[in-house]
Chains A and B, each alone.
Chain A
Amino acid sequence: FLGAGGGNDIQWCFSQVKGAVDDDVAEADIISTVEFNHSGELLATGDKGGRVVIFQQEQENKTQSHSRGEYNVYSTFQSHEPEFDYLKSLEIEEKINKIRWLPQKNAAQFLLSTNDKTIKLWKISERDKRPEGYNLKEEDGRYRDPTTVTTLRVPVFRPMDLMVEASPRRIFANAHTYHINSISINSDYETYLSADDLRINLWHLEITDRSFNIVDIKPANMEELTEVITAAEFHPNSCSTFVYSSSKGTIRLCDMRASALCDRHSKLFEEPEDPSNRSFFSEIISSISDVKFSHSGRYMMTRDYLSVKIWDLNMENRPVETYQVHEYLRSKLCSLYENDCIFDKFECCWNGSDRQVEFFSLIVMTGSYNNFFRMFDRNTKRDITLEASRENNKPRTVLKPRKVCASGKRKKDEISVDSLDFNKKILHTAWHPKENIIAVATTNNLYIFQDKMN
């Protein structure tokens, strides 16, 4: 049973770490997205250099039942390259903003990857045999002298070393004036949405020359601009429903059956603000950086700068649960504004769903600073802080919980707020869809942790 007791009853142990050890991080190596595929067998990362690296889980070793398969490099390719739009004098970064996997339909795997402007559908396929014994060609490809060909020879397939090839099958371009922040595949597995700061478009996976605009919040006069779209996602079961979040902390749920252009929301989720608490920072820290539906689609979770909120789709006027990620930062907002950290976009994710208890989203995971990440158990209301660090390198050694001392006397093993390293941020985390395995990305390293198995 998944997490009987939840977050604190799972004993997280270090499993693997990928990436360079050196502290001098090249900008291209900054990890910008992490995503497991639907089976959890593959784990994809995207980086600022436009590259995608896919890891594959080894088949479980039956004799070593105490450990699950390790993740090893399966394929790596350059997904996007830097571009310059001369017409608009716009530099287009190659950074991969999001990767989303398609469910597997045949031997090949498909994923969508996107930068600020262009979405690409990549096919990743294996080749483990090749034809040999051509009639007219030598083995090295040179054509044989026709006069030496005296018999007919039919090529046969012979095994070869496994080769994994990635090829771009569709390029979905020129549909976004602003910067794409989200892509989400619909539960119909035929369409997907892409969202930028002001618009959301609907695509069909087979069609690249047309896209339908379904949300447009661009004001007629740009001076009147007050909010932008920050994230969007399709409902896991209802193919006509999607949500999008804003920089003002609101979430809108839209139904595509209501009208072609979903500028009028079906539901608006917003927590009333306490006017006595309002400050210069209020709107900035209320900006939602990520939104994720629960497995059943009954709930959704949002991440803003200081907290994670769980919303019941049936209740628009306030979240049903709020979890403080790093409340001690509230008294550091001035310096966090000065060093731009206040604009960091943290993601959040749910635990995987157990086969038996399929629709329970019980645990929330999200990142913080100092390479800390946090988990919240919805049942027990307990939370834990862990650290992704090479110092906790021993496999099957349970990670020690961390604690930040907000003020007053610092206890042994606690770290004070002023000692936190704000350059070490964990923005991207992912949870294996079926097992207690998590992938946590620090700036340029990928950590894999798993539940200690008895």
Chain B
Amino acid sequence: QDTQEKDKTIPPERAEEAKLKAKYPNLGQKPGGSDFLMKRLQKGQKYFDSGDYNMAKAKMKNKQLPSAGPDKNLVTGDHIPTPQDLPQRKSSLVTSKLAG
């Protein structure tokens, strides 16, 4: 009840919105909309070009390959991913613990 009296004029949602905008002033003007949706539609996208990879491997046999950037999932363009950079597919061909 105390909190309600304090924010009598500001609905809790708006107060939270103000908090968020204070932390991230560059947050998109469009609330909720396209950015989220596009991100959602692109789930699972991994950029890997086997052609680039193999050419680079052939050319740069003796050179040190550039190291992976902080975000290993967004690999595209100049950066040639190495096998270590590619996320490992976890094998789940083990029986579920629910059946154990």
Contacts and interface: CB of A to CB of B under 8 A. Distances in A.
Interface residues of A, number: 62
B36 A47 contact: no
Contacts of A19: 97-98
A76 B96 contact: yes
Contact of B46 (A91, A283, A333, A445): A91
A116 B40 CA distance: 12
Nearest to B49: A89
A320 interface: no
A279 B98 contact: no
Given A91-B44, A225-B38, A280 B97 contact: no
A283 B33 contact: yes
Given A90-B46, A91-B44, A407-B3, A283 B96 contact: no
Contacts of A337: 20
Contact of A444 (B2, B20, B40, B97): B97
B84 interface: no
A73 interface: yes
Nearest to A20: B97
A282 B31 contact: yes
Interface residues of B, number: 43
B34 A226 contact: yes
Contacts of A258: none
Contacts of A330: 12-13, 16
Given A89-B46, A197-B41, A281-B32, A20 B100 contact: yes
B19 interface: yes
B99 A50 contact: no
Nearest to A49: B92
A247 B12 CA distance: 22
A397 B35 CA distance: 48
Contacts of B45: 88-91
A53 B36 CA distance: 33
Contacts of A408: 1-3
Given A226-B33, A228-B37, A228-B40, A277 B11 contact: yes
Nearest to B100: A20
A92 B13 contact: no
Interface string B38-58: 101101111110100000000
Say what secondary structure dominates the interface of chain B. Answer: helix
B46 to A, nearest CB: 5
Given A284-B36, A331-B3, A279 B31 contact: yes
A179 B41 CA distance: 7
Contacts of B47: 89
Given A28-B92, A84-B89, A179-B43, 16 more contacts: A27-B90, A29-B98, A51-B92, A51-B95, A90-B45, A90-B46, A225-B41, A226-B33, A228-B40, A281-B13, A282-B32, A284-B36, A331-B3, A333-B12, A407-B2, A407-B4
22 contacts: A19-B97, A28-B94, A45-B96, A48-B92, A49-B96, A50-B92, A76-B99, A84-B89, A93-B44, A198-B41, A225-B34, A228-B40, A277-B13, A278-B31, A281-B17, A283-B32, A330-B12, A330-B16, A334-B16, A337-B20, A407-B4, A444-B97
Interface of A: 18-20, 27-29, 31, 45, 47-51, 53, 73, 76, 78, 81-82, 84, 86, 88-94, 116, 178-179, 197-198, 222-223, 225-228, 247, 276-284, 330-334, 337-338, 406-408, 444-446
Closest 7 CB pairs of A and B: A283-B32, A49-B92, A28-B92, A331-B12, A333-B16, A279-B17, A20-B97
